[in-house]
């Protein structure tokens, strides 16, 4: 039983409690997640005709339902958005790009605090300022803050090991606290000034610096006056680069939504301390019959599910449950969060700017999607595919003479590179000859297909590729074909992309099993597209390899001792100077290290002395 009849049978068991409901198809896949102030009343709406085409399709596919009651409607709203993000139902509006945003951290676990970029959970002790829209926005601000306040950005270990000032001191980007060029009290004053600036109290700082510059000039200390002038200029550049600096809005996210032809773009401007800290665009999955109010409400719920909301949300479109959303976000933040849809004044100007950006960004994306679709059709024609591929997987390896070997997989589709689907593979094969590219590719593809067969055996979750591109020629293609045969997945087209004569761009040869190699015309757009795919795979593989190599360089035997984390490792290395010295230390010396208990000292001693 499906459709209206299926939904009606649940009405007998429902009451008027608030809660969340899920609609499932015949194979128990979640089609839709919704919330309700009154579950019985909400579900009964689905038993009457008159819905949009999207909802009618959903009702026809519904074979069962699940319910979860909550104490309040606010709880239902929060649970609904959490489930949507987890389950990604087919008929919900879905926010697809939900990365964390970087902050500026003034670390407070050192006598001379470090200023740096921070992303992720706020576990470190210190003052956080953000969010910034991108790493670029943070880096630009940090660059100018260094010039203005001369705060260090080096790590604690580098700070402790310095015996003379580094280059940043020479170019007047740091005050040199590592070698005593500034007192702790004066450095603390610079930190306070930086925090005041990041909190929006910049006018007073600039006035104080201007007064100090005049004093230095009057005393004919022209070098000091010039340094202060450069600091004032750096502060001005931060404010100028931020573009929009609203006077009447201290802390807000300005959110503009534009919808066209069943697609949507949401632009978010981050206003903090009366300064614009950048903007980011998002493209939630919507349909042609989704209203702006529904799209905006879904975006807010999912966007702030894992982020702290600011004191004010300035929206281009109102939402149906504004009071409920405001209450939910206020409870999450532990303070009042206000939602406004401005009709006049500065806030309307801000939201109009966000709307204009959303409209232009969506137009660009739709144009790029049309170009991408044309390239995918060309790819299908070049490689004799049945249809344009919806998921292309490209593989590459990276190593230096076989060391720190990694495999990389990048994914592309109708909307370009799908970076959340990228995967890296640490090559584990102990029996591999160093530099054996065939063996490495075999290991990577074996692990990939083993996982696919386990996670998506019926190929209905969209995880299987429509085309494999391998970096290499006939030998690589033959090796991968063997793996595909062994796993029974011979129906996936696979092409090897080999450098042609003189390893030159434009002379690539393409290899397929049982067919002669061939090349595309040098100016063919499809060739450029394949080159971009291969270059992206190579970039990702090289980056992964470098990260692994850097980690290996910093590794020590101390990493293998249970109970020795980063802080205790630092303490041991600072006390003894090297891991080798730690390994030779006696038990009494180990116990003398700050932060190392008698029990842990025994563990460290036993680790190095009980290996026989």
377-428 pLDDT, tens digit each:
999 999 999 999 999 999 988 865 556 688 889 999 998 899 889 998 888 7
Report the b/e string of 320-338 with b at 16+ CB within 10 A. ebbebbbbbbbebeeeebe
DSSP annotation of 70 reads -
Both structure tokens of 98 = 């939900």
3-state secondary structure 569-588: HHHHHHHHCCHHHHHHCCHH
DSSP annotation of 307 reads S
* Domains defined for the chain, CATH in brackets: 4-87 (3.40.1440.10), 103-241 (no CATH), 251-363 (3.30.420.340), 392-552 (3.30.420.340), 557-609 (1.10.150.20)
Burial zone of 245 (CB within 10 Å; 0-12 exposed, 13-18 middle, 19+ buried): middle
At residue 437, the pLDDT reads 74
3-state class (DSSP) for residue 339:
strand
Both structure tokens of 338 = 């206000």
Q: Which residue stretches of the chain have pLDDT < 50?
A: 241-243, 612
Residues 6 or more apart from 444 whose CB is under 8 A from it?
395, 397, 407, 409, 425, 427
**Maximal CA-CA distance, the chain:** 91
Alpha carbon 459 to its chain's center: 27
Distance (Å) of CA 390 to CA 135, 362, 378, 407, 467: 30, 21, 13, 23, 9
> In this structure, how many other beta carbons lie within 10 angstroms of the beta carbon of residue 445?
27
pTM over cut 0.85:
no
Residues 6 or more apart from 484 whose CB is under 8 A from it?
445, 449, 490, 492, 494
At residue 278, the pLDDT reads 85
At residue 612, the pLDDT reads 42
Task: Pick the closest to residue 439 from 470, 468, 480, 494 (CA basis).
Answer: 480
At residue 429, the pLDDT reads 65
Q: Compute the distance between CA of residue 74 and CA of residue 571 in angstroms, rounded to an integer.
A: 47
Q: Quick: pLDDT tens for 158-212.
A: 898 888 888 999 888 899 999 999 999 989 988 988 888 888 766 567 677 788 8
Both structure tokens of 523 = 């100016």
The CA dihedral of 374, 377, 378, 382, to the nearest 10 degrees, is 170
């Amino acid at each position: 039983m499906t459709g209206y009849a299926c939904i009606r049978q649940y009405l007998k068991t429902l009451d008027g409690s608030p809660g969340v409901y899920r609609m499932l198809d015949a194979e128990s896949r979640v089609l839709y997640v919704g919330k309700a102030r009154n579950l019985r009343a909400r579900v009964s709406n689905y038993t009457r005709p008159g819905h949009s085409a999207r909802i009618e399709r959903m009702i026809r596919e519904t074979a069962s339902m699940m319910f979860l009651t909550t104490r309040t409607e606010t709880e239902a709203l929060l649970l609904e958005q959490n489930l949507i993000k987890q389950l990604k139902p087919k008929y919900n509006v879905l926010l697809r790009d939900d990365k964390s945003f970087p902050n500026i951290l003034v670390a407070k676990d050192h006598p001379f605090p470090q200023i740096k970029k921070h992303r992720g959970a706020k576990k470190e002790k210190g003052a956080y300022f953000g969010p910034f829209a991108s790493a670029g926005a943070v880096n630009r601000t940090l660059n100018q803050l260094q010039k203005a306040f001369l705060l260090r950005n080096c790590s604690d270990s580098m700070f402790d090991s310095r015996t003379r000032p580094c280059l940043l001191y020479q170019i007047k980007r740091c005050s040199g606290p590592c070698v005593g060029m500034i007192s702790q009290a004066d450095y603390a004053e610079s930190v306070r000034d930086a925090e005041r600036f990041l909190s929006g109290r910049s006018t007073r700082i600039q006035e104080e610096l201007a007064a100090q510059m005049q004093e230095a000039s009057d005393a004919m200390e022209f070098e000091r006056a010039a340094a202060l002038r450069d600091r004032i200029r750096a502060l001005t550049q931060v404010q100028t680069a931020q573009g929009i600096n609203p006077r009447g809005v201290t802390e807000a996210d300005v959110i503009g939504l534009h919808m066209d032809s069943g697609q949507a773009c949401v632009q978010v401007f981050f206003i903090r301390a009366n300064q614009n800290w950048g903007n980011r665009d998002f493209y939630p999955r919507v349909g042609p019959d989704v209203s702006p109010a529904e799209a905006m409400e879904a975006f807010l719920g999912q966007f702030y599910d894992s982020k702290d909301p600011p004191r004010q949300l300035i929206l281009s479109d109102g939402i149906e449950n504004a009071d409920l959303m405001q209450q939910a976000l206020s409870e999450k933040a532990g303070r009042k969060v206000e939602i406004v849809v401005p009709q006049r004044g500065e806030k309307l100007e801000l939201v109009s700017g966000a709307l204009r950006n959303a409209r232009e960004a969506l137009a660009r994306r739709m144009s790029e999607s049309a170009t991408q679709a044309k390239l995918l059709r060309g790819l299908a024609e070049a490689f004799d595919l049945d249809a344009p591929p919806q998921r292309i997987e490209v593989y590459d390896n990276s190593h230096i003479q076989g060391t720190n070997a990694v495999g990389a997989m990048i994914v592309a589709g109708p909307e370009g590179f799908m970076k959340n689907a990228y995967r890296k593979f640490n090559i584990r094969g102990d029996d591999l000859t160093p530099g054996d590219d065939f063996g490495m590719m075999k290991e990577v593809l074996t692990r990939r297909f083993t996982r696919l067969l386990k996670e998506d055996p019926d190929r209905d979750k969209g995880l299987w590729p429509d085309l494999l591109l391998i970096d290499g020629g006939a030998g690589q293609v033959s090796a991968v074909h063997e793996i595909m045969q062994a796993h029974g997945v011979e129906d996936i087209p696979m092409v090897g992309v080999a450098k042609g004569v003189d390893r030159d761009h434009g002379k690539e040869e393409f290899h397929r099993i049982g067919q002669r190699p061939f090349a595309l015309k040098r100016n063919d757009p499809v060739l450029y597209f394949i080159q971009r795919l291969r270059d992206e795979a190579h970039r990702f593989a090289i980056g992964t390899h470098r990260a692994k190599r850097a980690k290996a360089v910093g590794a020590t035997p101390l990493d293998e001792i249970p109970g020795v984390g980063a802080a205790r490792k630092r303490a041991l290395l600072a006390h003894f100077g090297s891991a080798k010295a730690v390994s030779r230390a006696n038990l009494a010396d180990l116990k003398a290290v700050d932060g190392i208990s008698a029990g842990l000292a025994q563990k460290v001693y036993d680790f190095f002395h009980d290996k026989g």
